[in-house]
Amino acid sequence: MPGNETLLFVLFNLFILAMLVIDLGVFHRRAHTVTIKESLIWSIVWVVLALAFNAGVFIVAGRTPGLEFFAGYLIERALSFDNIFVFVIILSYFGVPSHLQHRALFWGIIGALITRSLFIAAGAALLSRFEWVLYIFGVILIYSGGKMMFEKGTEVHPERNIFIRAVQRVLPLTNSYETDGFTVRRGGKLFFTPLVVVVLALETTDVIFAVDSIPAVFGVTRDPFIAYSSNIFAILGLRATYFLLAGVMESFYYLSHGLSLVLVFIGVKMLLGAFVHIPIAVSLGVVVAILAVAVIASVLRNRRLSKRQPPPDPAADGQV
């Protein structure tokens, strides 16, 4: 990116901070159950903002950075769908009331933004000094893609998380969500609500996903600002997507297979980078094609399964 990169980061972070203040301080100042309509609106808002920012990158920096941002955003957005499964498991395990789920996800994603930022900064620093780190990233992606292809579902065990267990032992916790916040006073003493543990579970789990996503974005761009901004936009849209798709994510049966192929492709691209140059437009086309085939195959599978289901028995409904 041309110009002062530090200024770019500062202005971008100020914009993101302003959007987060509007989100939590205005539209979600009071804890409430998020409706489908509300989640759809915010999903569209974050996608439109990302695409508008992408258009700005095209205009200011040119075609290649613009395609790199779009490829990075698409890959990170696709990978973030796996987070939704984990969110469902964690929020269900801790029995988070529906009106507190937005708040838990908001602060969990804030923590994820901080850790992703640190990981991207570390990755960019390593790549600028040690070119061979790119090959390590490639191996990580190929391994992660292969593991995702053959493993059966995503398993999360919050009770085994060492950080969560430490917090439960150290902090005085209440047994229920007594307030909308993280603390409550009893007899002059300060207690923490289970919401603290939930946010910690969301943040520590995201670290695992970052191991895949950060190398993946560096597989399509070496520009730290492009990697950072595309990752941030993908993560910020995740919260609204959760409320929109949490109940139907299991319908995308082949999505995990498609994501695994994307990771393997980016990993191979990294390993072959010194010998074969794959243009960003070609990489973007391959990623779009893989994800499109995965979604279409999932839809066709659902239709096929629905046709196999026997029609309802009238006698069971008391009609006979």
Longest dimension (CA), the chain: 77
Q: 192 forms bridges with which residues in the sheet?
A: 173, 183
- pLDDT greater at residue 128 or residue 71: 71
Q: How far is it, in rounded angstroms, from Cα 23 to Cα 36?
A: 16
Question: 153: which residues sit within 8 A by CB, 6+ positions away?
Answer: 85
Query: Over the Cα atoms of the chain, what is R_g?
Result: 21
Q: What is the token pair recorded at 224?
A: 């730290």
As a dihedral over the C-alpha atoms of residue 204, residue 209, residue 211, residue 216, rounded to 10 degrees, the angle is -150
The phi, psi pair for 253, rounded to 5°, reads -60, -40
Q: How far is it, in rounded angstroms, from Cα 257 to Cα 187?
A: 54
What is the reported pLDDT for 209?
72
Residue 272 has pLDDT above 60, yes or no: yes
Give the model confidence (pLDDT) of 192-248 as tens digits. Answer: 888 888 888 888 777 777 777 788 888 888 888 999 999 888 888 777 777 777 656
pLDDT confidence tier of residue 160, bands split at 50, 70 and 90: low
Q: What is the token pair recorded at 95?
A: 């029995």
Q: Give the closest residue to 79 by CA, choosing from 248, 273, 290.
A: 290
What is the reported pLDDT for 181?
78
Residue 304 has pLDDT above 50, yes or no: yes
Q: How far is it, in rounded angstroms, from Cα 185 to Cα 101?
A: 22
Give the model confidence (pLDDT) of 90-131 as tens digits. Answer: 887 888 888 888 888 888 878 888 888 888 888 888 887 877
Residue 290 has pLDDT above 60, yes or no: yes
Residue 9 has pLDDT above 90, yes or no: no
pLDDT confidence tier of residue 295, bands split at 50, 70 and 90: confident
What is the reported pLDDT for 32?
63
What is the reported pLDDT for 282?
85
Find out whether 267 and 138 touch, Cβ atoms under 8 Å: yes
Please compute, for residue 180, the number of CA atoms within 13 A of its CA located in the half-sphere on the CB side.
Answer: 11
**What proportion of the chain, given as a percentage, has pLDDT over 90?**
7
Give the model confidence (pLDDT) of 32-70 as tens digits. Answer: 666 777 778 888 888 999 999 999 999 988 889 999 999
What is the reported pLDDT for 93?
80
pLDDT confidence tier of residue 2, bands split at 50, 70 and 90: very low
pLDDT (mean) for 121-143: 82
Angle between helices 238-245 and 63-93 (to 10 degrees): 50
What is the reported pLDDT for 320?
44
